């Protein structure tokens, strides 16, 4: 089968071809695809119209200021977006590439143009623009929502800090007078005072003060991830600082904290946050251990972790689950004064900020809490 000639290839090409005299003269030729797209007959085009007469007003400006100038200065214009007005008045977006043919003396003879139907391209571009606008609106709405959440968290933290200050004084008064009355009731000859009742008042007020401290710390942790700046430090230094912070609770419960001997374990961490995590665990163990017991701390490497063990505290699986869900309503309603578990929640969040985790093991051999302050 013979290959089609050049004229047939021109006429039946899947893209539009157009030529006109010089650089801006009347149309000389238009192929079948161009006529089919625009609805013009050859008789309506050849020798009667110039290319710019087929353009929309906006496209005429682009043709005069960009397309024609490139043809005059460079002789070539590639991949320009224009818009044609078809015979029925509809508009057809096209991508055009043009080249000027010159004679031996360099004078322009004709301009040859190839046109591609850009309807699908323009539709996709419009869809992309709409998708981008939707994405930008969604991002703006998300930022506004995040800003609202952050403002609410800051307000919550400020409120709890203010309440901490407001509650601290009356709670301190209650605790102080209860302890004073206990001391007087225990003197020889004192009568009529129930020391067991007074101790309950003192213990309840002290517990309330500790709960307030834990709640305030828990709220402040909302800002901690953005302010997190770990620095080279040591686990023993952190464990010792945590023991110091938890000493009021341990002393009142008549417990001792013992940090095992050993070399310093280097770690990159936020010392203040990590010490608060240790203190929170110690306070929770201290509220559950009988007097005279010892909470032992051990610092280990690879991964960096602090183990806290109390042989006198036995926790069931249900109790461990309750500690790890301190704000769950079903658990809260069945709690006494052993503690809400917020200290554990604080420690777990701090471990997460450090890229670590918190593990609690309970059983007949006591309770082991492992604070991992890094991936592991």
Residue 234 sits in a domain of what CATH number? 3.30.565.10
For residues 246-263, give the mean pLDDT. 89
Token digits of residue 280: 């929170």
Phi then psi for 162, rounded to 5 degrees?
-65, -40
Residues 238 and 371 in one domain: yes
pLDDT of amino acid 129: 87
How many residues are present in the chain? 376
pLDDT of amino acid 165: 65
Residues 72 and 150 in one domain: no
pLDDT of amino acid 327: 56
pLDDT of amino acid 118: 87
More reliable by pLDDT, 100 or 173: 100
Inside any domain, residue 206: yes
pLDDT of amino acid 339: 53
Inside any domain, residue 126: no
Residues 239 and 367 in one domain: yes
Inside any domain, residue 57: yes
Residues 212 and 240 in one domain: no
Confidence of residue 160 (pLDDT cuts 50, 70, 90): low
For residues 307-327, give the mean pLDDT. 74
Residues 334 and 309 in one domain: yes
Q: Answer yes or no: is pLDDT of 1 > 50.
A: no
Region of residue 177 (phi > 0: left; psi between -120 and 50: alpha; otherwise: beta) = alpha
Q: Answer yes or no: is pLDDT of 329 > 50.
A: no
For residues 66-93, give the mean pLDDT. 92
Q: Which of 175, 198, 220 is the last residue of a domain?
A: 220
Model confidence pLDDT, tens digit, residues 221-234: 777 777 788 899 99
Look at 26-30, 127-131, 242-246 and tell me which has the smallest mean pLDDT: 127-131
Q: Answer yes or no: is pLDDT of 376 > 90.
A: no
Confidence of residue 274 (pLDDT cuts 50, 70, 90): very high
Confidence of residue 4 (pLDDT cuts 50, 70, 90): low
pLDDT of amino acid 317: 67
* Beta strands 231-234; 27-30: pairing state: unpaired
CA atoms within 13 Å, Cβ hemisphere of 3: 3
pLDDT of amino acid 364: 65
Give pTM, 2 decimals: 0.53
| DSSP class of 263 | -
More reliable by pLDDT, 160 or 111: 111
Helix (H) or strand (E) holding 48: none
Residue 259 makes CB contacts below 8 A (sequence gap 6+) with 236, 239, 240, 243, 296, 297, 298, 299
pLDDT of amino acid 337: 46
Q: Which of 117, 147, 181 is the last residue of a domain?
A: 117
Tally of domains within the chain: 3
Region of residue 260 (phi > 0: left; psi between -120 and 50: alpha; otherwise: beta) = beta
Confidence of residue 151 (pLDDT cuts 50, 70, 90): confident
Confidence of residue 375 (pLDDT cuts 50, 70, 90): low
**Residue position matching structure tokens 């609410």:** 152
Inside any domain, residue 243: yes
* Beta strands 294-300; 91-102: pairing state: unpaired
**Residue position matching structure tokens 């991992």:** 372
pLDDT of amino acid 332: 47
Residues 299 and 345 in one domain: yes
Inside any domain, residue 264: yes
Residues 213 and 242 in one domain: no
Token digits of residue 357: 């985790």
Q: How far is CA 195 from CA 63, 148, 178, 271, in A?
A: 100, 51, 9, 41
Residues 144 and 252 in one domain: no
Confidence of residue 289 (pLDDT cuts 50, 70, 90): confident
Residues 238 and 374 in one domain: yes
Range(s) of the domain holding residue 112? 6-117
Helix (H) or strand (E) holding 207: helix 195-220
pLDDT of amino acid 128: 85
Residues 169 and 290 in one domain: no
pLDDT of amino acid 33: 92
Inside any domain, residue 343: yes
Q: Which of 168, 188, 220 is the last residue of a domain?
A: 220
Most confident stretch, 46-50, 197-201, 285-289: 46-50
More reliable by pLDDT, 281 or 330: 281
The rounded distance, in Å, linking the Cα atoms of 272 and 350 is 10
Residues 110 and 212 in one domain: no
The rounded distance, in Å, linking the Cα atoms of 288 and 282 is 10
pLDDT of amino acid 333: 44
Residues 154 and 194 in one domain: yes
Average pLDDT, the chain: 83
Q: Answer yes or no: is pLDDT of 363 > 80.
A: no
pLDDT of amino acid 340: 53
Q: Answer yes or no: is pLDDT of 211 > 70.
A: yes
Q: What is the distance, to the nearest Å, from the Cα of residue 22 to the centroid of all Cα atoms in its chain?
A: 61
Inside any domain, residue 123: no
Inside any domain, residue 124: no
Can you give the CATH number for the domain in which 44 is found? 3.30.450.20
More reliable by pLDDT, 96 or 324: 96
Cβ atoms of residues 353 and 372 within 8 Å: no
Q: Answer yes or no: is pLDDT of 374 > 90.
A: no
């Amino acid at each position: 089968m013979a290959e089609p000639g050049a004229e047939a290839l021109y006429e039946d090409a899947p893209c539009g071809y157009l030529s006109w005299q010089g650089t801006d003269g009347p149309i000389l030729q238009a192929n079948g695809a161009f006529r089919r797209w625009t609805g013009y007959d050859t008789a309506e085009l050849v020798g009667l119209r110039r290319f710019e007469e087929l353009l929309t007003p906006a496209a005429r400006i682009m043709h005069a200021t960009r397309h024609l100038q490139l043809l005059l200065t460079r002789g070539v214009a590639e991949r320009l977006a224009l818009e044609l007005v078809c015979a029925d008045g509809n508009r057809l977006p096209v991508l055009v590439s043009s080249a000027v043919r010159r004679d031996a003396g360099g004078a322009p003879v004709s301009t040859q143009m190839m046109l591609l139907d850009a309807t699908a391209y323009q539709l996709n571009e419009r869809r992309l623009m709409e998708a981008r606008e939707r994405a930008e609106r969604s991002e703006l709405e998300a930022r506004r929502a995040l800003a609202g959440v952050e403002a609410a968290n800051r307000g919550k933290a400020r409120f709890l800090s203010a309440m901490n200050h407001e509650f601290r004084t009356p709670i301190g008064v209650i605790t102080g007078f209860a302890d004073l009355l206990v001391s007087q009731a225990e003197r020889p000859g004192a009568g009529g005072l129930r020391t067991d009742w007074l101790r309950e008042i003192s213990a309840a007020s002290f517990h309330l003060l500790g709960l307030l401290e834990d709640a305030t710390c828990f709220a402040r942790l909302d800002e901690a991830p953005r302010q997190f700046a770990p620095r080279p430090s040591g686990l023993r230094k952190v464990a010792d600082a945590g023991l110091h912070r938890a000493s009021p609770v341990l002393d009142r419960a008549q417990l001792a904290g013992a940090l095992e001997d050993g070399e310093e374990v280097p770690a990159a961490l936020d010392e203040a946050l990590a010490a608060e995590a240790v203190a929170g665990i110690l306070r929770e163990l201290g509220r559950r251990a009988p007097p005279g017991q010892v909470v032992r701390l051990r610092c280990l490497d690879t991964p960096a972790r602090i183990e806290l063990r109390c042989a006198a505290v036995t926790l069931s699986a249900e109790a461990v689950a309750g500690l790890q869900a301190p704000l769950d309503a079903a658990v809260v309603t069945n709690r006494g004064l052993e503690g809400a578990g917020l200290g554990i929640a604080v420690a777990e969040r701090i471990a997460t900020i450090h890229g670590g985790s918190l593990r609690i093991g309970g059983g007949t051999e006591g309770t082991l809490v492992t604070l991992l302050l890094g991936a592991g």
